[in-house]
Each structure stands twice: as structure tokens, then as C-alpha cells.
Structure 1
Amino acid sequence: MSADLCWLIIRNNHAYLAKKRNVKKPFSTEPMNLKNVNSPRYNGLIHNKMLGIEPAPGGKGIVLSFKARKYQTKPAKNALRTTIKSGPRRALHSIRKFIKGNRYRKDLKMAALRRASAIFRSQRAQPFKKIRRRPRGTKAVKKTE
């Protein structure tokens, strides 16, 4: 089936759709949707080529998932996944190289890089902030003028 026909069938009703009151554009939680927006461009169900980026299970790195051409009619075998555990700069470079080298959905490049950057930012260790407290036995003194 063509992507346009699939979109016409599932656009208002599918299992991953998250509709909220007073929100004009509903969200979508499908696995290969980079922006979590219910639109034909980012929908991971209808296209033959699609990218997905998720955090790695160990908490370090990302998982790049994509659809294989070989198993287009078999959804269970269709999605291939590769874990990228190198540093953030190298991982972003390898995503760029994958998209350019395989001619794989150039329009999703920036969305993929932004999602990967956000995941790496969340995995970064937070700096320890020292809390300053008053020593015991001292009271706060109010200045009077």
C-alpha cells in the first residue's frame, strides 16, 4: 500500500495516538516517530524508510533503529537496531554518516540529531551543587538601622 493511503486510514485512529483536550495537534507515541507529532512526515508506521532514536538500555548511548528494505512486508523483522555507545560527537557524526551514505530520509536528519542530542544531554552527569548551611548553634542576626 502507498504511504498516502496508509495515512488516510490511520490518521485519526491508531493505537499510538494520544489525544488531549484543548490540544489542536494530537501527539503520537509510535516507536519511530522522531518528534512525537501525529503527521504523515514523522509517522513511523506508513513509510518504507524511517528512523528512530531511543536511549540505550544501559543509560549510556543511543539506539538507532531503521527499517530494512528486505522485509518490507514483514513488520516483525522489518526494524533493525544498532546501539551507538561512543561519545556524543562521534555518535552524532555516525548518524549523519548513516543518513547521507545510505540516502536515508534526508528530511529527518535535523530531527534525528536534535533527539540524539537531547538524549545525550539527559545522560550527562549533573554537577554536584554544594548546599551552604549555617553552622549549628548560630542564629540568624537581623540588621537594624
Structure 2
Amino acid sequence: MATVPGQLVWEIVKRNNSFLVKQFGRGTQSVEFSRETNNLYNLNSYKYSGLANKKTVTVQPVGKDLSVLLATTKKRKQNKPTAMFHKSVMKKEFRRMAKAVINQVARNYYRPDLKKAALARLSAVHRSLKVAKSGVKKRNRQAVKLYGLLKFFIDQYFGNRFPTGPAGSVEF
């Protein structure tokens, strides 16, 4: 199969492809997004397109732990989808992952123009994988103080005649 230049592919797919999502705003303004796998900003533009460029970068979450997949396309395997990507899974802290992304994308002269986009995508993916801290939430001190005063006055007024719950809390 003959290779087709990226600009020609972009001219064919830029206005009509299955990944295109159009958002209409007020008036005549609209924003075009793209759901392509190798599009870092999910914008419908030639620079970020995974369909038109031979060299693409993608950053995706893998599993439920804090691991992130960094995949770059191999230039010579364009017609073999299973062997098309060079994949590396990163399970480190954020700074080490960011350094690995910079080394892979910019310092190896792969696509230095996508360095900022790849780091932004890595930051968003890493933030989405973080689990919220669980545990007892701190109660408002004024609410605790008010609750204690309320309990004190009820005990003083009603004595032992008022029913209490299993932990000695007052039930209304």
C-alpha cells in the first residue's frame, strides 16, 4: 500500500469523520472536538490529529492504580495496527512520569511541539486517578459546641425521662 501524505489525509478527514464532535455556542461560534485516540487536546486540528500525522503521542490511564500509558506510533508499522505503537507503562510518582514524557517526546526529537500538550494530558490523567482521602471528616467546632449545649439543657430539663439512643445520644 502506498503511503499518503499527512496534509492530504487531513484535507479529506478534517470536516467529516466519525470522531468529530461539534459544539455550537451562542451565535455563529462553534468548537470542533475530536475523539481520536492519539489526540492529546481532543481538538480537531492538524497539529494534534492522530489520523493525519505519522508521529503521534497518547497518554492514557491504565487500570485502577496510578499507572499511566505513554504510547508513540512507530513510523514503519503504520499498516499493522497491533504493532503500530511503542507502549510504555509508567507506575511512578508524577515528577518522574513527567520527566519520562519530556524525554520521550521532546528530548528524543520525536515531536517536541507536543511537549506541552503531553504534559497537560499527563497532569489531567494523573489528577483523575487520585483517590479522595477517606476517613472521618472534621466537624465544625461551633456545631459540636451547640450540640453539646443542647444535650446539656435537655438532660437538665428532662433528666432521665427522655429516651436516649445506643451511644447515649438524644433522639428526637
Q: What CA distance in whole angstroms lies between the structure 2 residues aligned with 1:107 and 1:100? A: 8
Is 1:113 paired with 2:119?
A: yes
Q: CA RMSD in A?
A: 2.1
Q: What CA distance in whole angstroms lies between the structure 2 residues aligned with 1:131 and 1:26? A: 45
SS in 2 for 1:93: helix
Q: What CA distance in whole angstroms lies between the structure 2 residues aligned with 1:50 and 1:28? A: 15
User: Structure 2 regions of 5+ residues with no counterpart?
Assistant: 152-172
* Among candidates 83, 86, 92, match of residue 89 of structure 2: 83
Is 1:138 paired with 2:153?
A: no
User: Structure 1 regions of 5+ residues with no counterpart?
Assistant: 140-145
| Bigger fraction of residues in helix | 2
- Which has the bigger relative contact order, CA under 8 A and spacing at least 6? 1
Provide the aligned length of Structure 1 versus Structure 2: 139
Q: What CA distance in whole angstroms lies between the structure 2 residues aligned with 1:125 and 1:74? A: 37
Q: What CA distance in whole angstroms lies between the structure 2 residues aligned with 1:137 and 1:80? A: 65
Structure 1 match to 2:21: 18
Q: What CA distance in whole angstroms lies between the structure 1 residues aligned with 2:138 and 2:15? A: 50
Q: Give the AA of the match of 2:130.
A: R
1:42-69 Cα offsets, whole Å, 9 max, x none, are 0011111000011122331211111012
Runs of 4+ in structure 1 over 6 Å off:
none
Superposition deviation, residue 82 in structure 1? 1.6
| Structure 1 contact 61–87 (Cα < 8 Å) conserved | no
